[in-house]
Structure 1
Amino acid sequence: MRAWVAFLDTSNLLLQRINQQLREDGGLTQPQYELLTRLAEAPDQRMRMAELALALVTSRSGLTYQVSQLEKAGLVRREACASDDRGILAVLTADGQQALLKAAPGHLRVVRENLIDQLDRDQLVTLADTLGRARAHLRSTGNG
């Protein structure tokens, strides 16, 4: 129970600080920042909406909402998938790249100051291994 409560508290507190920083530096939410980051790392900075929903561990309707908000802001656009008439791609725009560049330094600072720098190298390796194992289990046994 101690580990579970510590995990919940740490996750919630860190996300709260990340959201505050992202709002202040880029007018983004954490889910929007993660969405932009996934697109920035994707080949040609585009992903099928269904694949993006899986990567972000969100529902398709939740993703559609976030993409719509980012599209209104000019940070993402949608386009038809050339290889599949039913497929829709989310594409990072030049303004989306700029929004990431603006928000990224503060995001990295908040994560580093509040998590990474609080642990020594062995603790970081253990944390990464432990959470990686839990993530792999959850992805292999569920929808994510």
Structure 2
Amino acid sequence: MDSAGDPLDPRELRAWIAFLTAGHLIDHEIERQLKRDGGLSHPEFEVLVRLRSAEGNRLRMSDLAREVMVSKSRLTYQVTQLERAGFVKRTACESDRRSVWAELTDEGAAALGRARPGHRRVVREVFVEVLAPEEIELLGDALGRVADRLRHR
């Protein structure tokens, strides 16, 4: 018998509501910090982080969309905002005329540098310091399995 459509039991419902609530509240705290320290939204910060981590500080837009897990149209909006701020530039891909590179600029690296210390502080304060080391391990494993299931859909 498939239980997928059954109501959540109290334990499952409590975990689900706690996950949603914590996620929203953490995102709100991170958004406030990023705006204050770097003038960035959380999605913009994620784009800059991915570009900073990439070889040559650049990624094809299609690869960047997969990395930040947003639609191509949503990514185009974010990159346009970052380009207007001077944090990212787009260039044509020499080997594939259909592709476009998004590249981190020096100004984007500087904005990321201003935002990162506060970001790390907030993540530690609202997430890491609240959990015991074994809970962090367990949560990482559990949410990793959730992400894996959704990636394969």
| TM-score tier after normalising by the smaller chain length | over 0.9
**Matches of 1:83 and 1:5, distance apart in 2:** 47
Which runs of structure 2 are paired with 1:1-144 in the superposition (5 Å)? 1-141=13-153
Q: Which amino acid aligns with 2:77?
A: Y
SS of residue in 2 equivalent to 1:47: strand
Question: How far does residue 54 in structure 1 lie from its aligned partner after superposition?
Answer: 1.1
Aligned-residue CA RMSD in angstroms?
Answer: 0.5
How many corresponding residue pairs? Answer: 141
CA offset digits 1:10-69 (Å, max 9, x no partner): 000000000000111111000000000000001111001011111111111100000000
Question: How far does residue 82 in structure 1 lie from its aligned partner after superposition?
Answer: 1.5
Structure 2 unaligned regions, length at least 5: 1-12
Structure 1 unaligned regions, length at least 5: none
CA offset digits 1:54-95 (Å, max 9, x no partner): 111111110000000000000000001111011001000000
* Structure 1 residue ranges (4+ consecutive) displaced by more than 4 angstroms after TM superposition: none
TM-score by length of 1: 0.96
